[in-house]
């Protein structure tokens, strides 16, 4: 079980760091996911910072608990964006099926973040 958890932690860390990099390298990727009332550049900057911090925290055992909590919170923050995308006639992610799957994955990510946090809570 510990090996599976570590593999997932490093997978999530990679996804966070890759996302942070992509917000800098190709910010236009996220254009259609950002609601009009949020400044696009600000959303990319804040996402880059948050995803990089969470990714790094997940890698460092001393901060893994906080990385799990950060991942949990970040996935909750992103959930309304994916629900909003699902409600569009043509979702930015490509299709209604893809948008539905993305919401399901987001819920799994939320649960995984909480699981990491709780698993490392007593390991200060």
Number of neighbours of residue 20 by Cβ within 10 angstroms: 21
pLDDT beyond 60 at 5 = yes
In this prediction, residue 36 carries a pLDDT of: 87
In this prediction, residue 72 carries a pLDDT of: 98
In this prediction, residue 27 carries a pLDDT of: 92
Is 116 in contact with 68 (CB distance < 8 Å)? yes
* pLDDT tens digits along 11-66: 999 999 999 999 999 999 898 888 889 899 999 999 999 999 999 999 999 999 99
* pLDDT tens digits along 79-108: 999 999 999 999 988 899 999 999 999 999
What domain range is 108 assigned to? Answer: 2-120
pTM of the model: 0.91
Nearest Cα to 85, choosing from 30, 42, 46? 30
Backbone angles phi, psi at 116, to 5 degrees: -65, -50
pLDDT-based confidence at 123, cuts 50/70/90? low
- Give how many domains the chain has, as a whole number: 1
């Amino acid at each position: 079980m510990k090996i599976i958890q570590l593999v997932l932690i490093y997978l999530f860390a990679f996804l966070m760091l890759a996302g942070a990099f992509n917000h800098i390298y190709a910010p236009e990727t996220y254009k259609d996911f950002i609601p009009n009332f949020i400044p696009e550049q600000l959303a990319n900057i804040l996402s880059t910072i948050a995803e990089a911090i969470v990714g790094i925290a997940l890698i460092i055992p001393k901060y893994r608990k906080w990385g799990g909590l950060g991942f949990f919170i970040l996935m909750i923050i992103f959930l309304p964006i994916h629900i909003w995308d699902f409600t569009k006639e043509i979702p930015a992610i490509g299709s209604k099926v893809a948008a539905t799957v993305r919401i399901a994955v987001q819920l799994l990510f939320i649960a995984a973040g909480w699981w990491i946090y709780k698993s490392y809570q007593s390991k200060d």
